[in-house]
Amino acid sequence: MSDSFSALTILQDDEQAFREAVREFAEGEIKPKVLEMDEKAQMDPGLIKQYFEMGLMGIETPEQYGGAGGSFTMACLAVEELGRVDGSVSVMVDVQNTLVTNAFLKWANEDQKKKYLPKMASEWVGAYALSESGSGSDAFALKLKAEDKGDKFVLNGHKLWITNANEANLFLVFANIDPSQGYKGITGFIVERDFPGFSVGKKEDKLGIRASSTCELIFENCEVPKENVIGEVGKGYKIAIETLNEGRIGIGAQMLGISQGAYDATLEYIKTREQFGKSLSHFQGVQFQLSEMRCLLESTRLHVYNAARLKDMGRDFVKDAAMAKLIASRNAEKIASMAVDLFGGNGFTKEYPIEKFYRDAKIGQIYEGTSNMQLQTIAKMELNS
């Protein structure tokens, strides 16, 4: 990757060193296992242990809780560099940092932080459980019910499409304590994997990010202690909205990484693949496509980094997060598609990495808010400004 005067030039020395360390780890430890993990649709358990050892599962977690004490931008850099090699690894680290840990940092009380953040930084994978069969884009139509039983809440119902569910020890779960109140009854709960009445159900067989587990969660009289309510009772909708706003930047970073990986592979391929006695890179039509891919890539990088910086600065970033995710996911699909075209027949085979980048890119326009939801957010904020 060139050192052009782009968004890369705004990185601090510690951020650049961190990026390089993650890239070295991704290239050396993850890349050799990507194809096998994709075929088996399973994350390598040994790699998960290494994510913790590398400090990748508690990047923003303060040092007092066993984390790295880094910035949100650094978390996005890690997600990007991992996505450059494997979108599945990237989203595991992304959900851990930009969704679950971020929610704890902002909404958990001190006892909850002391109990759970050290575990999440050292050994526990986290999952974020909002979606249900009838509650996707309409996030607050959820039906998971929580009943107050004095010293505990009892949860009944199901969650679907929950990332990290197979590996997770901790689940940030949203349920409604009073459906008559609509979204004002939604409350956040910290659910441990071994709580009575909780189980992980069917694992989805997916098109892309196959090594990332996506599962159903089952709550059958699941008992959750009162002290495991995160934030205030009835304020779960606020936690969900604000956390997803941050998470969208993380998905933008994942899509940026996938785009970079597809671009890097294409650049190397067209320099070495020959047709008509010349490398593909000598043909103007190929050069034009490569240039378009590079422009899309840098557009993505600028939007993602800008949104991450605004978040770190404590400034309003909601519209920028929506734009970053929208543009990053669209560009990732476009770049990966162009890469398949330039690889020709080779791009359609599993011998080369391009077909996987293409499959992995599609999810970016769907999860953590579809492209239409991002457009709605952008328009709403523009019209109300």
- Note whether 103 and 195 are same-domain residues: no
Q: For residue 84, what are the contacts with CB-CB under 8 A and spacing of at least 6?
A: 23, 26, 257, 258, 260, 261, 264
| 190: enclosing H helix or E strand | strand 186-192
- Note whether 278 and 376 are same-domain residues: yes
Contact, 127 vs 169, CB < 8 A? no
**Diameter of the chain measured on Cα atoms:** 79
- Note whether 191 and 156 are same-domain residues: yes
| Domain of residue 216, CATH code | 2.40.110.10
- Of 134, 243, 137, the residue nearest 188 (C-alpha): 243
- Note whether 142 and 110 are same-domain residues: no
- Note whether 131 and 228 are same-domain residues: yes
Which of the listed residues 236, 257, 280 is the one where a domain comes to its end?
A: 236
- Note whether 232 and 160 are same-domain residues: yes
Domain range enclosing 330:
238-383
- Note whether 81 and 168 are same-domain residues: no
CA distances from 268 to 12, 219, 294, 342 (A): 28, 49, 14, 11
Decide if 26 is inside a domain: yes
Decide if 1 is inside a domain: no
* Helices within the chain (DSSP H only): 13-25, 34-40, 45-53, 72-83, 87-94, 102-107, 110-122, 236-272, 284-312, 318-343, 354-361, 371-383
Decide if 2 is inside a domain: no
CA distances from 347 to 55, 338, 344, 351, 357 (A): 35, 10, 5, 8, 10
Which of the listed residues 125, 153, 175 is the one where a domain comes to its end?
A: 125
| Domain of residue 323, CATH code | 1.20.140.10
- Note whether 267 and 368 are same-domain residues: yes
Decide if 97 is inside a domain: yes
- Note whether 353 and 257 are same-domain residues: yes
- Total domains in the chain come to 3
Tell me how far apart the alpha carbons of residues 289 and 277 are, in angstroms, rounded to a whole number.
20
CA distances from 60 to 49, 104, 167, 175, 265 (A): 18, 11, 21, 27, 31
Tell me how far apart the alpha carbons of residues 272 and 270 are, in angstroms, rounded to a whole number.
5
pLDDT of residue 365: 98
Decide if 24 is inside a domain: yes
The Cα angle at residue 40 between residues 36 and 42, in degrees rounded to 5: 95
107, two tokens: 């909404």
pLDDT of residue 196: 97
Tell me how far apart the alpha carbons of residues 278 and 309 are, in angstroms, rounded to a whole number.
44
Q: Is 39 a catalytic residue?
A: no
pLDDT of residue 10: 53
- Note whether 218 and 262 are same-domain residues: no
Tell me how far apart the alpha carbons of residues 272 and 268 are, in angstroms, rounded to a whole number.
7
Decide if 351 is inside a domain: yes
pLDDT per position as a tens digit, 357-383 = 999 999 999 999 999 999 999 999 999
| 223: enclosing H helix or E strand | strand 214-225
Tell me how far apart the alpha carbons of residues 66 and 127 are, in angstroms, rounded to a whole number.
19
Tell me how far apart the alpha carbons of residues 243 and 262 are, in angstroms, rounded to a whole number.
29
Task: Decide: pTM greater than 0.75.
Answer: yes
- Note whether 119 and 16 are same-domain residues: yes
In this structure, the strands spanning 170-176 and 198-203 are unpaired
Which of the listed residues 189, 210, 236 is the one where a domain comes to its end?
A: 236
- Note whether 156 and 231 are same-domain residues: yes
pLDDT per position as a tens digit, 177-216 = 999 999 999 999 999 999 999 999 999 999 999 999 999 9
Considering the candidates 81, 216, 246, 368, report the single residue annotated as catalytic.
368
10-residue mean pLDDT profile of the chain (385 residues): values are 43 86 97 98 98 97 96 97 98 98 98 98 98 88 95 97 98 96 95 98 98 98 98 95 96 98 98 95 97 98 97 97 98 98 97 97 97 97 92
